[in-house]
Chain A
Amino acid sequence: MCLAIPARVTEILEDGRAIVDLGGVRRPISLALVEDCRIGDYVIVHVGYALGKLDAEEAERTLALFSGLDADAAGPAADAMRAA
C-alpha cells in the first residue's frame, strides 16, 4: 500500500504535472507535493504523486556501503545515517 517507485522526470507539464519514465513506461504524475523539480531528477512516485526527490549522491554512497566499505570509510552517508 505504501509502496512507491523511483521514476525519472522526462518532461515538465504546465499544470504542476510532469511525465515520468517508470522503467520504460511513461505516465503523467502530479508535482504538487515537491519543490524545484527538474527534468532528469528522480522522484519517488506514489498513487500518481511525487512524494519526494531521490538524492543520487546518497544512493551511490549507500551502495558503496553495501559493497563492503567500512562504515567509517564511507564518509558522509555513514555520518548522515548516524546523525539522523
Chain B
Amino acid sequence: MKYVDEFRDGARARTIAARIHAELDSARRYSFMEFCGGHTHAISHYGISDLLPPQVHMIHGPGCPVCVLPIGRIDLAIGLALERRVILCTYGDTMRVPASEGLSLIKAKARGADIRMVYSAADALATAKANPDREVVFLAIGFETTTPPTALVVRQAQADGLRNFSVLCCHVLTPSAITHILESPEVRRFGTVPIDGFIGPAHVSIVIGSAPYEHFAEEYRKPVVIAGFEPLDVMQAILMLVRQVNDGRAEVENEFVRAVTRDGNAVAQAQVAEVFELRPSFEWRGLGEVPYSALRIRDRYREFDAEARFGLAYRPVPDNKACECGAILRGVKKPTDCKLFGTVCTPETPMGSCMVSSEGACAAHYTYRRFRDIDVKVA
C-alpha cells in the first residue's frame, strides 16, 4: 500500500540505525518512552529494538486506551447490558478486557447480554435507529483520534431527535497523561524510570497538532518527537531524540510532517469542543486518578450521556493483586517481570489489560518477542 510499504523498507531502516550508532555518545545511556501503543506494537513487530545499540532503552508508555481503561468503567458497561438490558455497542478492542467477578464484555455476551461490536461510532447510531424500542448505549473509548467521531454522532443523534441513544464516555487525553507520568505524587511514590525524551503520538497529533506538547517540552525540559506508526518513522524519531539529547535541546520536533501540522485539525477540534468538556478527574489503570485527563458530555447534550440517563455512579475496583499492569503502564516494570506473564495471562486468556490489546506492552512482547531471550542450542 502506498505510504505504508515504503515506510517499512529494511535497507532504509539499516541506514538510520547506522546513523544512530554513529551519533551516540558512548559514555551515556538513553531512555526514551514511546507513549503510544501503536509505537510499542511497531517496535516489537518489526524488531526495532534489535537494530538499536544497547545504550538506547525504549520504555513502553501508557498510550493504549484499552490498557488504561479501569475495571470500574467496564463494570458500568456490563451492568447496563446485563441489568438494564440495553444494546451495548463497543469497539472490538474492549470485548476481552477483564472486569469484576471474572467477567468481560464477551463473557457477559455469552450470558445473554446484547453486546455488539462496531467498527465505527456511526454504526452505533445506526443500531439505535434500527431499534427504536430499545435503549442503545455506545461505550466510547479512545484518545483524541476516536473522540471527534463520537462528537459527530452525538450531534447527529440530537439533530435526528433520537430518544434511545446515549454514550458512556471514557475518552481520555494524551498531553495530560504524559505530564502526569512525570509529575504526579502517586507516580513518584510508586516509582518511575528516568526518561530522556518522548516519542509523541502519531494519529492523535493529526487531530490536536504538535503545539500542545510545546509547554510540556519547555516546562519539563524533555524533548518530544512526534512520529508516524511505521517502523522507519520510529527509527527516525529515535535518531532525532538522540540528537536533541546530545545537543542539550528539549524541543518539540515533528517527524510525521506528512500528516501532522502545528495546529492540528481545526474542524475535529471544534466538534469535540462543542460536545465535550473536561472531567475534573478520571481513573486510569496504572496511573490512578489523573486530574483533567478525560472528557465528559456537556450539559446541553445531557440526554445523550449514559451516566446521567441511567444514574450511573463510578466505583473503583482494584486490579488482580499479582497483575503488574500498573507498574508496566508506568514504565517501571517489563512484561517479563510479571509472574502471570505467559503463564495464566496470555492473549487468549488475558488477566491484565496490557495483554488484551495487540498494542499493549504484554501482548506485543508475547506475540513477537517472548522467544527472543532464549538461547537456541544446536545439537
Contacts and interface: CB of A to CB of B under 8 A. Distances in A.
Interface of A: 1-6, 8, 22-23, 30, 32-35, 42, 44, 46-49, 51-56, 58-59, 61-63, 65-68, 77, 80-82, 84
B258 A51 contact: no
Contact of A48 (B93, B119, B202): B119
Residue among B2, B66, B122, B257 having the largest count of chain A Cβ atoms under 10 Å:
B257
Given A6-B2, A49-B149, A65-B236, A54 B257 contact: no
A66 B260 CA distance: 18
Contact of A1 (B2, B253, B259, B359): B359
Contacts of B253: 81-82, 84
Nearest to B7: A63
Contact of B38 (A3, A32, A80, A82): A3
A35 B265 CA distance: 9
B254 interface: yes
B229 interface: yes
B231 to A, nearest CB: 11
Given A2-B203, A48-B120, A68 B15 contact: yes
Contact of B145 (A4, A35, A59, A61): A4
B271 interface: yes
Nearest to B41: A3
B250 interface: no
Interface string B65-77: 1100000000000
Given A5-B4, A44-B259, A47-B119, A66 B65 contact: no
A37 to B, nearest CB: 11
A43 B329 CA distance: 31
A53 B357 CA distance: 27
B223 interface: no
A77 B255 CA distance: 9
A8 B2 contact: yes
A55 B260 CA distance: 9
Interface stretch (B106-114, B188-196, B204-212, B284-292): B204-212
13 contacts: A2-B36, A2-B202, A5-B1, A33-B149, A35-B267, A46-B149, A49-B120, A51-B206, A59-B3, A67-B12, A81-B240, A81-B255, A84-B260
B65 A1 contact: yes
B180 interface: no
A34 B91 CA distance: 23
A47 B120 contact: yes
Contacts of B206: 4, 44, 51-52
B1 A33 contact: no
Contact of A49 (B148, B236, B357): B148
B279 interface: no
Residue among A4, A56, A65, A66 having the largest count of chain B Cβ atoms under 10 Å:
A66
A78 to B, nearest CB: 9
Contacts of B146: 1-2, 46-47
Nearest to B141: A1
Contact of A84 (B9, B65, B207, B257): B257
Given A5-B4, A54-B258, A48 B37 contact: no
Contacts of B210: 84
A2 B232 contact: no
Given A3-B359, A55-B257, 12 more contacts: A1-B37, A1-B38, A1-B145, A1-B357, A6-B1, A33-B149, A34-B267, A48-B122, A49-B148, A59-B3, A82-B251, A84-B254
